[in-house]
């Protein structure tokens, strides 16, 4: 019944709010008339109580009329377990600091827009750390220029929250993750730009690679203390593409100490990576644990709708008219990464300006010929075999083995089907890749899977999921 309540709340408040607040609730003891729900932080507890307390109570009563009261508590145990070591400060009932952020949050700042414009006009601001530690922020990467859709709305909301209220509990660190070109760097810059537009706060942004480079250089020039002091003097530290530190153990160690020093001093940390903290194997466990302690927000692969919205926004900003047909064509053809989508559009517009003729579908196909060809060649049979084997938990070698057990034969057929759908290989070529099978075997597999997909929605979903993963 708790699951049912969660489902209903999700419907009522929407995905973003749900994940930001409700999803962090864990179910505590269920007495006859009192329900206890836990949240990992005082701040979250207060917020959930204020925003959803009444609703939670009435939903529980609908499930069970005997319930008199829904109690929201801070789960100190969960919180402590999430931090490393026993020295982590415990949430004390009674401290008032967390309440501040709530009232500040209620007073949404109406002047923010004006300030953002002001920043755009006065490039490098005083507050942006401009010693040789950090990298300048790109003024184009604002929140306003970020197009929001289902795949990124949660990350966008979290980024906005941190920009408005840095270092509030529950959001520190902010960990953004997702594939290449989906907007991680854009969002980090947007946070930084918004923060410095407000003044009185120092923000440092750099890639993990740059962090390592600075760290090593400081050791070589015996200026480690300076490096540490500079880093630890900022209010907000943003490290982009943290996966770079995999296997770089001493840099990881240094980052871990910087991280702890800053968080303990109430500064905000924002990190991006291509995977979630738990999937970043190769980072030290204690670092991964701490990275997962705040808010973890994922950016999913773009949907067709989002790609269209992004293209519309960028076309509009360019001032050159681009027919909707062309935008749709691009959104269909370039599915992996927004950077490439943007690149294709820019190329079209530049070309149209140069030759003095409008953008049309024909000109698009012509101008982008090479680029689109490269895209079509992207998925290889090897990749398909690897992904499918992984998905069904069978050995890669079984893709070309003679084994005929259903548990391996079916995934093999699915891989053949996907090879036919996603690559331009002929049936005999596909057959060769699957242990020198005959082209009729491949044809049979393709037909069989098409049939099964119509009869079995579960199978159809798996295949679609695989196709999606391979294409993005
Ligand atoms: P990542 O850091 O995740 O690899 P970036 O933030 O560098 O990706 O984004 C790549 C490019 O795509 C940038 O030019 C960025 O402005 C643009 N971009 C990505 N997502 C969006 C979006 N939702 N709206 C507008 N532009 C976007
Ligand atoms: Mg990036």
Q: Domain count for the chain, please give it.
A: 4
Confidence of residue 96 (pLDDT cuts 50, 70, 90): very low
pLDDT of residue 351: 92
Is 192 found in the same domain as 162?
yes
Is 452 inside a domain boundary? yes
What proportions of the chain, in percent to the nearest 5, are helix, strand and coil?
A: 60, 10, 30
- Residue 437 belongs to domain with CATH number: 1.10.1750.10
User: d(Cα 114, Cα 220) in Å, to the nearest integer?
Assistant: 45
Q: Which residue's alpha carbon is nearest to atom 20 within ligand 1?
A: 183
- Residue 328 belongs to domain with CATH number: 1.10.8.60
Is 313 found in the same domain as 295?
no
pLDDT of residue 326: 95
pLDDT over 80 (residue 130): no
pLDDT over 60 (residue 134): yes
Is 371 found in the same domain as 424?
no
- Give, to the nearest 10 degrees, the angle between helix 381-392 and helix 457-471: 130
Ligand 1: nearest atom to the Cα of 341 = 12
Is 49 found in the same domain as 7?
yes
Confidence of residue 425 (pLDDT cuts 50, 70, 90): confident
Ligand 1: nearest atom to the Cα of 149 = 23
Interior/surface letters 52-69, b for 16+ CB within 10 angstroms, e for the rest: bbebbbebbeeeeeebee
Is 46 inside a domain boundary? yes
Ligand 1: nearest atom to the Cα of 338 = 12
pLDDT over 90 (residue 132): no
Is 402 found in the same domain as 269?
no
Is 341 inside a domain boundary? yes
Of 325, 352, 376, which residue sits at a domain end? 376
- Which residues does ligand 1 sit against, CB inside 6 Å? 141, 145-147, 152, 178, 180-186, 310, 338-339, 342
Please tell me the number of the ligand nearest to residue 208's CA.
Answer: 2
Confidence of residue 78 (pLDDT cuts 50, 70, 90): low
State the distance from the centre of ligand 1 to the C-alpha of 96, rounded, in angstroms: 38
Is 464 found in the same domain as 406?
yes
The mean pLDDT of 282-308, rounded to a whole number, is 95
Please tell me the number of the ligand nearest to residue 141's CA.
Answer: 1
Range of the domain at 147: 125-299
Any residues with CB less than 8 A from the CB of 200 and at least 6 apart, and which?
127
Is 90 inside a domain boundary? no
pLDDT over 80 (residue 82): no
Q: Which residue's alpha carbon is nearest to atom 6 within ligand 1?
A: 183
Ligand 1: nearest atom to the Cα of 145 = 25
Q: Which residue's alpha carbon is nearest to atom 25 within ligand 1?
A: 146
What rounded mean pLDDT belongs to the chain? 85
Confidence of residue 375 (pLDDT cuts 50, 70, 90): low
Among 3, 26, 10, 31, residue whose Cα is nearest residue 74:
26
pLDDT of residue 87: 34
Is 151 found in the same domain as 292?
yes
pLDDT over 70 (residue 76): no
Ligand 1 pocket: which of 141, 338, 472 to mutate (most atoms within 8 A of CB)? 338
Residues placed in the known binding site for ATP = 181, 183-185
The mean pLDDT of 181-193, rounded to a whole number, is 97
Is 349 found in the same domain as 271?
no
Is 130 found in the same domain as 240?
yes
Is 117 inside a domain boundary? no
Of 299, 331, 360, which residue sits at a domain end? 299
Any residues with CB less than 8 A from the CB of 114 and at least 6 apart, and which?
none
Please tell me the number of the ligand nearest to residue 143's CA.
Answer: 1
What's this model's pTM, rounded to 2 decimal places?
0.69
Is 430 inside a domain boundary? yes
pLDDT of residue 33: 86
Please tell me the number of the ligand nearest to residue 135's CA.
Answer: 2
Is 110 inside a domain boundary? no
State the distance from the centre of ligand 2 to the C-alpha of 318, rounded, in angstroms: 23
State the distance from the centre of ligand 2 to the C-alpha of 156, rounded, in angstroms: 15
Write out pLDDT tens, residues 246-293: 989 899 999 999 999 999 999 999 999 999 999 998 899 999 999 999
Any residues with CB less than 8 A from the CB of 307 and at least 6 apart, and which?
330, 331, 334, 335, 338, 341
Is 205 found in the same domain as 337?
no
Ligand 1 pocket: which of 152, 156, 182, 344 to mutate (most atoms within 8 A of CB)? 182
User: d(Cα 292, Cα 39) in Å, to the nearest integer?
Assistant: 15
Is 227 found in the same domain as 278?
yes
State the distance from the centre of ligand 1 to the C-alpha of 60, rounded, in angstroms: 42
Ligand 1: nearest atom to the Cα of 189 = 6
Ligand 1 pocket: which of 140, 142, 183 to mutate (most atoms within 8 A of CB)? 183
Is 91 inside a domain boundary? no
Ligand 1: nearest atom to the Cα of 147 = 24
Is 237 found in the same domain as 221?
yes
Q: Quick check: 173 and 294 in contact, CB under 8 A?
A: yes
Write out pLDDT tens, residues 198-253: 888 999 999 999 999 889 888 888 888 999 999 999 999 999 999 999 989 899 99
pLDDT over 70 (residue 123): no
Of 299, 317, 346, which residue sits at a domain end? 299
pLDDT over 60 (residue 421): yes
């Amino acid at each position: 019944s708790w699951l049912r309540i969660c489902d209903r709340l999700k419907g009522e408040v929407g995905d973003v709010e749900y994940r930001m607040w409700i999803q962090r609730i864990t179910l505590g003891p269920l007495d006859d008339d009192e329900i206890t729900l836990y949240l990992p932080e005082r701040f979250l507890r207060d917020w959930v109580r204020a925003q959803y307390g009444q609703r939670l109570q009435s939903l529980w009563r609908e499930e069970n009329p005997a319930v008199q009261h829904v109690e929201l508590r801070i789960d100190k145990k969960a919180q402590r377990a999430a931090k490393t070591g026993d020295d982590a400060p415990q949430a004390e009932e009674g401290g008032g600091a967390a309440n501040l952020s709530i009232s500040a949050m209620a007073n949404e700042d109406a002047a923010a827009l004006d300030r953002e414009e002001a920043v755009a006009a006065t490039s490098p601001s005083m507050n942006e750390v401009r010693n040789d530690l950090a990298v300048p922020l790109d003024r184009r990467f604002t929140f306003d220029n970020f197009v929001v859709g289902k795949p990124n709305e949660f990350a966008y909301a979290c980024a906005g929250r941190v920009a408005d209220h840095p270092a509030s509990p529950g959001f520190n660190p902010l960990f953004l993750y997702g594939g290449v070109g989906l907007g991680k760097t854009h969002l980090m810059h947007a946070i930084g730009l918004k923060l410095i537009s407000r003044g009185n706060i120092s923000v440092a942004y750099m890639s993990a690679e740059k962090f390592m480079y600075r760290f090593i250089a400081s050791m070589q020039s015996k200026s480690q203390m300076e490096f540490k002091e500079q880093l630890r003097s900022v209010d907000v530290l943003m490290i982009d593409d943290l996966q770079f530190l995999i296997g770089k153990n001493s840099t990881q160690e240094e980052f871990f100490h910087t991280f702890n020093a800053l968080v303990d001093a109430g500064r905000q940390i924002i990190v991006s990576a291509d995977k979630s903290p738990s999937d970043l194997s190769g980072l030290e466990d204690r670092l991964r644990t701490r990275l997962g302690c705040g808010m973890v927000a994922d950016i999913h692969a773009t949907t067709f709708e989002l790609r269209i919205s992004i293209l519309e926004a960028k076309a509009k900003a360019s001032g050159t008219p681009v027919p909707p047909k062309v935008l749709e064509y691009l959104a269909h053809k370039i599915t992996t990464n927004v950077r490439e989508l943007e690149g294709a559009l820019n190329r079209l517009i530049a070309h149209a300006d140069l030759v003095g003729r409008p953008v049309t579908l024909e000109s698009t196909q012509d101008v982008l010929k090479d680029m689109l060809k490269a895209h079509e060649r992207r998925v290889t049979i090897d990749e398909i075999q690897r992904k499918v084997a992984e998905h069904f938990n069978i050995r890669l070698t079984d893709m070309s083995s003679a084994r005929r057990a259903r548990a391996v034969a079916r995934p093999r057929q699915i891989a053949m089907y996907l090879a036919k759908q996603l690559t331009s290989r002929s049936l005999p070529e596909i057959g060769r890749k699957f242990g020198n099978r005959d082209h009729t075997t491949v044809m049979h597999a393709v037909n069989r899977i098409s049939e099964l997909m119509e009869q079995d929605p579960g199978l159809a979903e798996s295949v679609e999921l695989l196709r999606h993963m391979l294409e993005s």
